[in-house]
Copies of this chain bind each other. A is one copy, B any other.
């Protein structure tokens, strides 16, 4: 099957670029002795996860149990789930996973830790658990090294748990001082922080500037998108993930309508102008969206498209776009080499 035969909107991955992105970043982390633990939330495709592992990743990162379940079913043996898992039913599912794979977890509260500990102890497991801290994003995570040390001590004395280290997102200028402070607080207890897991794709090439961080979690680096380009982490010609759409209407001289809207591209703007970059018409702006229509202003384009023309869009944010597709086509030299189900899409959290 040729790429032209894919029904639009079609999510595609250029395999040459995908492979290059995987190996380039792996090489960089290898050179700096940083463990690579890619976040599969971006692609949710087991075969791509295996490609990352074959290239040298130490394991993968998942953001919900459902993703981890799909990856475990696909034979992946080392999974990090940096999410506060809460509630009996989820803990049951988690324990089933922990019996099958080398699972590590995080928590940022005593509440979450006690749940993990009780479940793991019941199952006779010892679950590697890291303390999540807030490096400034303002999401989850303890706020001070003192709180981190307190939770580390609680993990260390909880049967069922084993203290693994610290985790944050993203790695930034606050990360190293925080880790260093927690390290000295714990030294007196004989507690060693072995693993420090940081991450982000925008900051992927600065991973080596954080000496305290010995593991990096990046997701988008395999695909790339307008946001990653804006942040300087990738170039347009490195982006492997695109959406092919069709111009289905040209109601006025300047307006064109694509067969992809907010159920294709999501509504993520991330500070960018428009909902994606049309490669064939870089001056065009996808200024609005309905659920299945993209509203495009072609007024700045010297040539304007015909109805029926196919155009290629680099999305703003690849993670949420791939999550809206049931399948992604892997292409090379215009040929469809593989059609991957986005296997972990919509999986239970």
Interface residues of A (CB under 8 A from B): 5, 7-9, 41, 63-64, 83-84, 86-87, 89-90, 108-109, 111-112, 134, 138-143, 246, 248-252, 255, 257, 259-260, 262-263, 266-269, 288, 290-293, 295, 306-308, 319-320, 323-326, 345-349
Contacts and interface: CB of A to CB of B under 8 A. Distances in A.
| Interface of A (DSSP majority class) | loop
Given A251-B141, A251-B142, A320 B86 contact: no
A326 B249 CA distance: 31
Contacts of A252: 143
Nearest to A247: B86
Given A139-B295, A267-B267, A8 B349 contact: yes
Given A41-B291, A86-B248, A260-B349, 11 more contacts: A7-B87, A83-B248, A84-B249, A111-B308, A112-B248, A138-B251, A139-B290, A143-B251, A262-B320, A326-B347, A345-B346
Contacts of A143: 251-252
Contact of A293 (B139, B259, B260, B288): B139
Chain copies in the assembly? 2
A94 to B, nearest CB: 11
Contacts of A293: 139-140
B140 A248 contact: yes
Contacts of A9: 349
Contact of A86 (B246, B263, B288): B246
Contact of A349 (B7, B251, B267): B7
Contacts of A266: 262, 266-267
A286 to B, nearest CB: 13
